[in-house]
Chains A and B, each alone.
Chain A
Amino acid sequence: MRAGRELDLLQLTAGLVLACSVVTLWRRDLRALVAVLALQGGALGTLAALLAVQHGDLGLGIVAGVVFVAKGFVIPSLLARVVRRDPGSRETAPLVNVPASLVGAGALVIVSYLSAGRLTSLFPSPATRLAPLGLATVLVGFFLLVSRRKAVSQIVGLLLVDNGIALVAFLLTAGVPLLVELGASLDVLLIVVVLQVLATSMRSRFGHVDLDQLRELHD
């Protein structure tokens, strides 16, 4: 019964990660986007912690803590600061309209289920069976990257891709080595800081953070 309860929670957190990534395509409000990202990071950290308890792995437990703090709190609060400083652009500017991108997201989820299903049937266990959800999160993240123009949406897309990769890694291998995961998390944190600086300097120089308008080089 206890193992069943743990599996339920694992499924619940994995489902939550995917649901959050779809909601980022749904909502236009950038603040809501950041809040959803925080929720996703928290769900990912909880999933890693569940796996750590299941395998009795201390290293994975530490990774879970790092993921929970970094993706659930630090990165979203940095992003929230970027959004707060720019009251002029509170809404995403989608290149593909919202209903079409939602239908696209549905198609991506089906594609990832069909393609990753083969992969997970090589080693069917309750955890690996959830891996298509991670792949779907990666694909939805890429879709967000190519279909949204604001700098903040692009950062969110990048983080979705990263969260998806982390989810697949946790589910398939029961956690990457501690050092690798720490390195990856730090990389992502660095990227967010760099993009924040970029967004801030873009705004101070051009008064907006619309990446499409960066067509030519200036001195």
Chain B
Amino acid sequence: MSPAASAAILAGAALKMRMPASLLQVAAIVVGGPLLVGLMAKCRARAEGRIGAPISQPLRDLRKLVRKERIHAEHSSAVLAVAPFVLVASATVAVAISPLVTTAPVLDGGADAFVVVYLLLMGSVALALGGLDPGTAFGGMGSSRAMTVGALAEPALLVAILALSIQAKTSNLPGIVKATLAHPGWLASPERLLALAALVVVVIAETGRIPVDNPSTHLELTMIHEAMVLEYAGPELALVTLGEAMRLGLLFGLVANLFFPWGIASSASLPQLSLAVVVLAAKAATIAVVIALIEVSTAKLRLFRIPELLAGGFVLAVLAVMTGLVTR
């Protein structure tokens, strides 16, 4: 047997070994993302003195939407129908290769920070095109706003992860998680805290929460994401909602594991993987509760103040990189 062939067989075996863990990640995020959305809504309701819908409400909404008929706006093209699939597919790939449950997901050599960020961006662009496609005023307005916020949040996200990758000497996300596991002292280093602050700002913007966007309103002056998906209905709306929930779950999970990776599975054994799912759920739920409390206690920013917030996040990320360079 030639060395190339045996290498291919080895790689195939490694892929087979890693596949179950990655599938578990995707399953955890598909179920967990909507549950996180429900948990945040519940926290908000409780903090406002209401009882609120059950945590599983987003999942029930998805089931309801899937049963409805497919209906498209009158002058829309194929873009409207394809965009939700691109969103969900890009989110699925990003979830499968990210270090969420295991430090060895499939294709982890390709799980670079840039790859994951641009997979997320691909979904946002698809959704923005879907919003523009029917040619309605609201869709275009929402898309333009979403792209503005995205263009400001994207560099901050990349620079914040860059600060971590300078410290870990790799921009590979599983690599960063493994390096953090090996150096617990990094937890309190200034560049990590600054990068965490920057990432919280970015995650709030990317997931469309208050103070950037209000996910529970259809008030035309303030909405960003809701305006963009106004023309979607039925199963396609279900896909869009699921895609957004998966991105939220992915971002929360990534923030949790990049900064506090303990509990993640380093082998593919069943007890370790199941423990890792539970720990990931606990960490993501903690972040969700914190962000829900931020949502309750702040007012939504005027649209023209959003660049200020994101510029602040960006500068915090730059500071993280510079501090990392100074202190090394």
Judged by DSSP, the binding face of B is: helix
For A11, the chain B residues whose CB sits under 8 A away are 189-190, 323, 327
Which residues of A are found within 8 Å of B197, using beta-carbon distances? 19
Q: Residue-by-residue, is B162-206 near A (CB-CB < 8 Å gives 1, otherwise 0)?
A: 000000000000000000000001001111011001000000000
Contacting pair A14 B311 (CB below 8 A): no
Task: Check if A113 sits within 8 Å of B319, measured CB to CB.
Answer: no
B326 in contact with A99 (CB, 8 Å): no
B308 x A26 contact (CB < 8 A): yes
B315 within 8 Å of A (CB atoms)? yes
Contacts of B188 in A (CB 8 A): 8-9, 12
Q: 8 Å CB contacts to A: which residues of B55-88?
A: none
Indicate whether B316 reaches chain A with its CB closer than 8 angstroms. Answer: yes
B325 at the interface (CB under 8 A from A): yes
Of chain A, the residue at the smallest CB distance from B152 is: A99
Q: Which residues of A contact B308 (CB under 8 A)?
A: 26, 98-99, 102
B314: interface (CB < 8 Å) = yes
A133 CB contacts on chain B under 8 angstroms: 323, 326
Interface pair A12/B314, CB less than 8 Å apart: no
A129 to B316, CA, bound (A): 20
Residue among A9, A22, A110, A130 making CB contact with B316, cutoff 8 Å = A22
Interface residues of A in 1-54 (CB under 8 A from B): 4-5, 8-9, 11-12, 14-16, 18-19, 22-23, 26
- Least CB distance, B16 to chain A, in whole angstroms: 42
Q: For the complex, is A105 an interface residue (Cβ under 8 Å from B)?
A: yes
Which of B189, B191, B194, B322 has the most chain A CB atoms inside 10 A of its CB?
A: B322
CB distance from B221 to the nearest CB of A (A): 22
Contact B185 A4 (CB under 8 A): yes
Contact present for B315 and A103 (CB under 8 Å): yes
**A12 surroundings in chain B (CB, below 8 A):** 188-190, 193
Asked if A102 meets B322 with Cβ closer than 8 Å, knowing A8-B188, A15-B193, A130-B327, the reply is: no
Q: Is the CB of B315 within 8 A of A15?
A: no
Residues of A within 8 A of B150 (CB): none
Q: How far is the CB of B194 from chain A (nearest CB, A)?
A: 6
A16 touches which one: B190, B191, B315 (CB < 8 A)?
B190
Query: Once the chains bind, are A22 and B315 in contact (CB under 8 Å)?
Result: yes
Taking CB atoms, residues of chain A closer than 8 Å to B307 are: 99
How far, in Å, is A110 (CB) from chain B's closest CB?
7
A106 CB-CB contact with B under 8 Å: yes
Residues of B within 8 A of A132 (CB): 322, 326
The reply to whether the CB of A109 lies closer than 8 angstroms to some CB of chain B is yes
Contact of A106 among B191, B193, B318 (CB under 8 A): B318
Partner of B322, one of A5, A113, A129: A113
Q: Assess the A19–B189 pair: CB atoms within 8 A.
A: no
- The distance in angstroms between the C-alpha atoms of A136 and B323, with both chains bound, is 11
Taking a contact as CB atoms closer than 8 A, the residue among A23, A102, A110, A113 that contacts B311 in the complex is A102
> Is residue B312 within 8 Å, beta carbon to beta carbon, of the partner chain?
yes
Which residues of A have CB within 8 Å of B323? 11, 15, 18, 133
A18 to B193, CA, bound (A): 13
A21 CB → nearest B CB, Å: 10
Tell whether, in the assembled complex, residue B311 and residue A19 are in contact, meaning their CB atoms are under 8 Å apart: no
Q: In the docked arrangement, what's the CA distance between A136 and B325, Å?
A: 14
Q: In the complex, A4 Cα to B186 Cα: how many Å?
A: 11
Q: How far is the CA of A18 from the CA of B323 in the complex (A)?
A: 9
**Shortest Cβ gap from A6 to chain B (Å):** 12
The answer to whether A106 touches B189, judged by C-beta atoms less than 8 angstroms apart, is no
Q: Of B189, B191, B197, which is in contact with the most chain A CB atoms at under 10 Å from its CB? A: B189
* B164, chain A: closest CB distance, angstroms: 15
Give complex CA distance A4, B194 in Å.
20
Contacts A102-B311, A129-B327: A15 and B190 contacting too (C-beta < 8 A)?
A: yes
Task: List, in ascending order, chain B residues with CB within 8 A of A14's CB.
Answer: 190
14 residue pairs of the A-B complex, CB under 8 angstroms, read A5-B185, A8-B188, A9-B188, A12-B190, A12-B193, A15-B191, A19-B319, A22-B316, A98-B308, A102-B314, A106-B314, A113-B322, A132-B322, A136-B322
Which 7 residue pairs spanning A and B have beta carbons closest together? Answer: A15-B190, A99-B311, A102-B311, A106-B318, A98-B308, A26-B312, A102-B315
Q: A19-B190, A99-B308, A109-B318 are in contact. List 5 more A-B contacts (CB 8 A).
A: A11-B189, A14-B190, A102-B314, A103-B314, A110-B322
